[in-house]
Homo-oligomer: A and B are copies of this chain.
């Protein structure tokens, strides 16, 4: 199957390299005929002009440009032209899923997005496979390698957040502007896309509560260690009794939890489904070859006409009203939480009684402490 590539950065180069070099594998059935790039290069397939992509004979478009525009417009046009699309662009797809999936259905083409969440981990494929037999009841996982690298290193080395962020930036694991990663927005998009794949439920990204790790301190990590717990940034989703709960928060996991032991910049995510129960998938959550691998898997799935069961996500609302947890809070405004405090946890920190997440979020809003750190104390 002939394919066009939109974007020739880290992931695009991974996709092209895997296909160009994979002549003895199933990848031999794929061919990159055109590549859209921003600056000239000497590969004859490369163009700077989107009209060359429109004019080429690719049946499939692989989008790895990132950003909302022009990626959204290009993907829309590709679908309108009756081309299959695979994308690694979590933000664009989480924002525009309903429109783009509707268009794909109308045109009888496919829209796959393995590379948007969990990098090389076959997470979306695992969900599609589970759902051939099972209902997926819940998921939870580590879906951001940057923050996992920082948290793992803070846990292992006892270093502070600022030092670790700087090191992660030097190693290329974190962006110069790390907001999307450390404030949980990146995981929020991935949570939205996981809910689409797991529950057929497409929610607006901004309705998923997302708390990040920007204000975690070595003291918080130390409190976890003293209590046999390891902190991870966790995406959680559950569909139960018609209620869809989705939220992104740091969680102090028991150190016996497999997710607690996913180190370095790895990702890992668990689904719970009706007959299989829990199943967990772990691997490299980013990088040229792992993410390229995920995109090429989607391209092969389309070329082979596999995994064709039609799951149709509809617009849905987040309802976290049944989520009740104990929370760890560090704030300079503890008085706001006086009614829910259960035990002290060191200087300026405490653990709440088991309470509704939505009540906690209201109190956090009320406290207005820009450096507050909050985490679930998982059972």
Q: Is the CB of A261 within 8 A of B263?
A: no
- Nearest chain B CB to A277's CB is how many angstroms away? 5
**Nearest CB to that of A307 among chain B residues?**
B306
List of B residues within 8 angstroms of A120 by Cβ: 275-277, 279
Q: Is the CB of A129 within 8 A of B133?
A: no
Q: Is the CB of B277 within 8 A of A309?
A: no
Q: Is the CB of A276 within 8 A of B289?
A: yes
Contact with B along A290-322 (1 / 0, CB 8 A): 101100110010001011110000000000000
List of B residues within 8 angstroms of A132 by Cβ: 25-27, 297, 300
- Nearest chain B CB to A336's CB is how many angstroms away? 37
A81 at the interface (CB under 8 A from B): no
| Interface stretch of the complex, out of A50-58, A215-223, A252-260 | A252-260
- Nearest chain B CB to A111's CB is how many angstroms away? 19
A109 at the interface (CB under 8 A from B): no
Contact with B along A243-269 (1 / 0, CB 8 A): 000000000000011101111000010
A108 at the interface (CB under 8 A from B): no
Q: Is the CB of B134 within 8 A of A293?
A: yes
Total interface residues in chain A, CB < 8 Å: 48
- Nearest chain B CB to A350's CB is how many angstroms away? 29
List of B residues within 8 angstroms of A137 by Cβ: none
Q: Is the CB of B283 within 8 A of A278?
A: yes
- Nearest chain B CB to A31's CB is how many angstroms away? 15
Interface of A is mostly: mixed
Contact with A276, one of B129, B133, B290, B304 (Cβ below 8 angstroms): B290
A18 at the interface (CB under 8 A from B): yes
List of B residues within 8 angstroms of A297 by Cβ: 129, 132-133
Contact with A275, one of B26, B280, B293, B300 (Cβ below 8 angstroms): B293
Contact with B along A145-168 (1 / 0, CB 8 A): 000000000001000000000000
Known: A133-B26, A300-B132. A277 touches B284 (CB 8 A): yes
Q: Is the CB of B280 within 8 A of A283?
A: yes
A46 at the interface (CB under 8 A from B): no
A131 at the interface (CB under 8 A from B): yes
Q: Is the CB of A133 within 8 A of B261?
A: no
Contact with A122, one of B27, B126, B261 (Cβ below 8 angstroms): B126
Q: Is the CB of B261 within 8 A of A300?
A: no
A9 at the interface (CB under 8 A from B): no
A3 at the interface (CB under 8 A from B): no
List of B residues within 8 angstroms of A276 by Cβ: 120, 283-284, 289-290, 293
- Nearest chain B CB to A312's CB is how many angstroms away? 14
List of B residues within 8 angstroms of A358 by Cβ: none
A32 at the interface (CB under 8 A from B): no
A16 at the interface (CB under 8 A from B): no
Q: Is the CB of A25 within 8 A of B279?
A: no
Q: How far does the alpha carbon of A134 sit from the alpha carbon of B309 in the complex, in Å?
A: 26
- 18 A-B Cβ contacts within 8 A? A14-B275, A18-B133, A122-B129, A134-B293, A256-B261, A256-B263, A257-B261, A258-B263, A258-B282, A268-B280, A275-B290, A276-B289, A276-B290, A276-B293, A278-B283, A279-B283, A279-B284, A306-B307
Given contacts A121-B279, A256-B263, A280-B282, 10 further A-B contacts (CB under 8 A): A120-B275, A122-B279, A132-B297, A258-B268, A258-B282, A261-B261, A279-B282, A279-B284, A280-B281, A281-B282
